[in-house]
Structure 1
Amino acid sequence: MKMFQSRSKIIVSIVATLFVVLFGFMANGCGGGGGGGTTTTVEAPGVPINFVVAPSAVGGELSATLSWAAPTTGGPVASYELYKYTSETPTPNHLISLPATTYEFIDNAGLERGVTTYWILAAKNAGGETSTSPVSYTPPGGGAGEVDKYGNNFAAAMIFADGIGISNEVITGEWTENNISLVDYNTGLRPVIEENASVLPYWDPTTTYLKDGVTYYKQQTISTWQGEWQDGTGTEQNVTAKWGDNLISQTLNTGSVVRIEMVLSKALDTNMTAYNMVSLYGEKDVEIYGTDKTTYDTNTSFVFTAFASLKIEQIDENNNTITVVEDQALFDNVPDGPGKFAAEINVAGNLVYGYVWDLPTNNIPAGTYRITFTLNAPSNVIIGDVAVPSEGEPDTFPVLDSPTQVHIDITIHPAS
C-alpha cells in the first residue's frame, strides 16, 4: 500500500512537471529561441482638446458648464479626471472621474461671486494621465452685500442650548418642515432671509446629480432643506465632546495648515427628523454632498451653545505654558477666514465648531501644543463625556478637565 501511494505521487509529479514544461513552451511560442513572454505597454492618451468653461444656461452665473472633445493623439481614453481649485485655496483637488464617453460636466456647487475657480481635465488610461492647462471662471460680482453665495444646508438634528442661533441672534420661532413663512432666520441656518425661497424644502432641478441610479440635490446650491432643530433654553444639555479625527490621525509639522474641529452631541429621548446625506464626489476642499430628499428619525442631536471658546498654547514637558498662541471666544470681533473660531454647517450638513490654524503663515515652531475647548457662563451645556479615538497613543487622547472644559495635546514636528 505504501509503495502504491509512493508511485502515485511519482506519477502525479511527472505529469505536473510535463504540464508546466508544455505550458511554458506554449506561452513562449512554438518558434525557436526562447525569449520569454511579451509585455504590452499602453500608450497614455493625448491631451483633451477644446476644454472650455462657460456659465451654465440652466443654472445661472453660479453654475459652470465644462465641455471638451476627445484627444486626437495617444492611446484610448479610459476615463476623464477632473481637478478643481480656487484663487483662495490654490491646491488642486480631485473632483470627479467621468466615463470616456462623457464630454460635458456641470459644476453647480461651491462657486462664489468674485472668486476665481480653476479646473484641470486629464485623459486617463493604464498608461497614465495627460492633463490640460487650467481653465477658469469668475462669477461676476463680489464684495459686501452678496446674497447668492450659497452655503451648506443643515441636514441633521440640533438643539440650540441657549436659545441663540449660530447667527448670534435670539431664536423667536420653532422648526418648520415645509412652511417658508414660519422659518426663523435667527437660527443662521439656510435658507437665509435674502434667499427669498418660496417653499421649504426647495428642490431646484438644475442642481441634481445622479449616483447609483438615485437623484441627489447638491449642497452649496440654491436648493435648501433643513433638519429639525429645537430651542433648548431652560434645560441642561448633557453632551459628549469630540475633537476632529485629524488631530490624532495625521502627522502635523510646521508646514501644516491644521483644521481644528469640535462637535458636541447628545442622545435624545424623543427622535428628531434628519435628512439622508451622501458624498457625491470630490475630496477635501471640493467634496460635494447631497440628499435624495428622504428623511429619517434620529436619536442623536448636535448641540450648539453660543458661549464657547478655544485656546491654543505651547507647553513644556511639565505641562507649563510657554506661550499662548490663541485665546478666542465665539463671536469675538475677528475677521472671517483662517484664524477665526466659528460655528458652521459643514458640507455633510452637520454642525461643527471650527478653527483653521495656519502654522507656516504664523511661524509656529515645533513643539507640544495644548488645545482647550471651554464652555463659559451662562451656557447650560454640561460635558459629561469625551469621545476616545479608535487609534493613536493613550497619552495623545483627549482629556475631560471638568464639566465645562476638555483639552487635547498635539505634537507639531519640524517640517522635513
Structure 2
Amino acid sequence: MIPLRKTLAWSLAVLVFLAVGCDHTLPTDAPADAHEAAFKQGKPTGHEAGNNLSYPVIWAEGVTKALPGTAGVEPVLNGAWWYWWGTTGTDPDITPLSCAPDPEYPAYCDDGLTGVEPTVQPGPSPDLVLAYLQKDPQNIWQAGSADWSTSPVNVHWVDWGDNLESVDWYTRSQVRAEVVLFQDLVTPMTEYQMRHTSGWGIDEVHGLAANLSSQPILGDGTRATVYSPCARFVIQKLLVSRGDPALANLEWVAGDGWTEAEGVEDDLINLPIFNMAVHEAADGPGYYNAEINVKGRIIYGYTWNVRRLNEGAGDYRLTFSFDQSCGTADLNTFFTDGVTEIIVPLEEEIETAAATEGESPGGGGTPELDFLNTLTFIDISIHERGGGGGGSGKKGGGNRK
C-alpha cells in the first residue's frame, strides 16, 4: 500500500511504542550541537551540501569527481542525525523505524511539542544506531577510492534501475534511468554503512550509521562502483515491437546510436532523441552525468521527461555505452565476455520498484550485454495515457537537451 511508504518514520515509531508502553532509558554521547542540528530539517534553504561518498569507487580512466571530505580521514559528524533501529513491514511496504531526537529530551523521539517531556524512546533494539544525515554541511565523510587507469578495467557487474525492469511507462511519465557498474575487490576499501531514515524517491533520506558514541560503522568494502567519464547514454524509438527478431539486423555506430545494417530495407529504429556522454556534461539539468546518490554510491543517471521528449507511444531502446576517447582520457572500461554480468533483481526488488512507481509488477524490460561493442541496452514500452505525448516522426528526433 503506497500511502504507508509516505508515513513519517517517527510517527510510526510513536504508534509502535505507545502500544508496548516502553519506558526504556537510552543514554547517548552524541554532541549537543548535533542534537540541535537534528531539528533544522525542513524545506531546502539553498545551503545544503551534496551527498557524501559512502561506497568505494574505482576511477577507471584516472579521471576523478569532486567529492566532499578527504579519503582516509575520519568522518566529521557534527550535523543532523536521527535514531534508527530497524524496519517494519514486508516488501513492497517496508518502512524504517527511525525518529529525530527531541530537542529538549534528546534520548527521546521528537514529538513536535515544546515544554512537554516525550513518552516515546527509540528501540529497544540491538540494531539501534545514530544515522548522520546526508546533505548536511556539518556531516562530512569519504569512502575509499583508487586509480585503476594503469590496466584495463573489465567490469564485473552491470545494474540497471529496478524500475526499468519492473513496469511499463507512459507518455506523461518521468522515467529515472540509472546504471551502476560494480567491481569485486580482492583488497577491501573503506566503506561506511548507511541507514534509510525517511521518505521515498525525491524525499528519501539516508545517513551514515554510527554507534551511540558517534563512532562510524564500517561496511565490508569488498565491492566498488566504477566511474568512467567515457560513458554515453542514448534513447531511440523502435519502429517495430521490442520482441521483433528483425532487431538483430541493427548495428551500433559509436557515438551515434543504433541504425539498420547495410542492405536492410526495413526501417527498424529512429534517430536518437537523447544522445550525450558524461565527458560532455555541464552544470544544470538536461545532461548525462554520474552523481553520488543519497545512499552514497556513484551512479549514472538521467531523468527522462517523457512528456516533453518522446516520439509517441511505442517501444524505446535505452543504451549505455562508452566513447573511445573522452576529453583528456582514452577508454579503459570494458564489458568482457565471461567476466561481465547483468545483476538480475530479486522478485521482492521488482515488487518494491513497481510499488514505488504506483504500479503492479508486470512489464518492464530485460537488459542485454553486447560485448563486441562494450555496451548494454534495455528495451522498454511507453504507453499512451490521458492524451499528450510528443508525436511521432519518421527518423525524427536528434539530440535534445
Whichever residue aligns with residue 183 of structure 2, its letter is K
Say which structure, 1 or 2, has more relative contact order (CA 8 Å, 6+ apart): 2
Offset from partner CA, 1:99-156 (integer Å, 9 cap, x none): 3799x995545x6xxxxx3xxxxxxxxxxxxxxxxxxxx63xx5xxxxx431111101
Q: Which moved more, 1:387-396 or 1:357-366?
A: 387-396
- Which runs of 5 or more structure 2 residues have no equivalent in the other structure? 19-35, 86-127, 211-215, 241-245, 248-267, 325-329, 351-361, 387-401
Where 2:141 maps in the other structure, the secondary structure is coil
Quote the residue 2:355 is aligned against: none
2:182 aligned with 1:227: no
2:154 aligned with 1:238: yes
Question: Structure 1 residue 191: deviation in Å?
Answer: 2.9
Where 1:340 maps in the other structure, the secondary structure is coil
Distance 1:242-1:202 versus aligned 2 partners, 3 A rule: same
Quote the residue 1:54 is aligned against: none
Quote the residue 2:77 is aligned against: 203
Distance in 2 (alpha carbons) for counterparts of 1:366 and 1:394: 15
Quote the residue 1:387 is aligned against: 342
Offset from partner CA, 1:372-393 (integer Å, 9 cap, x none): 1111222111113231534689
Whichever residue aligns with residue 151 of structure 2, its letter is T
Distance in 1 (alpha carbons) for counterparts of 2:196 and 2:297: 13
Offset from partner CA, 1:270-324 (integer Å, 9 cap, x none): 1112001111111111111111211133221111111111111001224322231
2:294 aligned with 1:347: yes
Distance 1:249-1:105 versus aligned 2 partners, 3 A rule: farther
Offset from partner CA, 1:46-79 (integer Å, 9 cap, x none): xxxxxxxxxxxxxxxxxxxxxxxxxxxxxxxxxx
2:243 aligned with 1:369: no
Q: Is the 8 A contact 1:389 1:397 kept in 2?
A: no
Q: Is the 8 A contact 2:281 2:287 kept in 1?
A: no
Distance 1:288-1:395 versus aligned 2 partners, 3 A rule: closer
Count of aligned pairs: 265
Q: Is the 8 A contact 1:388 1:398 kept in 2?
A: no
TM-score by length of 2: 0.60
Quote the residue 1:298 is aligned against: 221
Distance 1:400-1:237 versus aligned 2 partners, 3 A rule: same
2:224 aligned with 1:311: no
Question: Structure 1 residue 333: deviation in Å?
Answer: 4.6
Q: How does 1:203-282 map to 2 (within 5 A)?
A: 203-204=77-78, 206-212=79-85, 213-222=128-137, 223-239=139-155, 240-282=157-199
- Identity within the alignment, %: 29
Distance in 1 (alpha carbons) for counterparts of 2:199 and 2:366: 30
Quote the residue 1:122 is aligned against: none
Quote the residue 1:161 is aligned against: 60
TM-score by length of 1: 0.58
Distance in 1 (alpha carbons) for counterparts of 2:287 and 2:7: 27
Whichever residue aligns with residue 235 of structure 1, its letter is S
CA RMSD of aligned residues (A): 3.1
Quote the residue 1:96 is aligned against: 9
Whichever residue aligns with residue 210 of structure 1, its letter is Y
Distance 1:237-1:108 versus aligned 2 partners, 3 A rule: farther
Distance in 1 (alpha carbons) for counterparts of 2:281 and 2:183: 29
Whichever residue aligns with residue 410 of structure 1, its letter is I
Quote the residue 1:328 is aligned against: 276
Where 2:271 maps in the other structure, the secondary structure is strand
Quote the residue 1:397 is aligned against: 366
Quote the residue 2:22 is aligned against: none
Distance in 1 (alpha carbons) for counterparts of 2:81 and 2:172: 38
Quote the residue 1:174 is aligned against: none
Question: Structure 1 residue 95: deviation in Å?
Answer: 4.6
Whichever residue aligns with residue 207 of structure 1, its letter is A
Larger Rg computed on CA atoms: 1
Question: Structure 1 residue 367: deviation in Å?
Answer: 0.8
Distance 1:106-1:201 versus aligned 2 partners, 3 A rule: closer
Q: Is the 8 A contact 1:95 1:287 kept in 2?
A: no
Where 1:155 maps in the other structure, the secondary structure is coil
Of 347, 355, 376 in structure 2, the residue corresponding to residue 406 of structure 1 is 376
Distance 1:294-1:245 versus aligned 2 partners, 3 A rule: same
- Which runs of 5 or more structure 1 residues have no equivalent in the other structure? 1-80, 84-92, 112-116, 118-137, 143-147, 167-187, 193-198
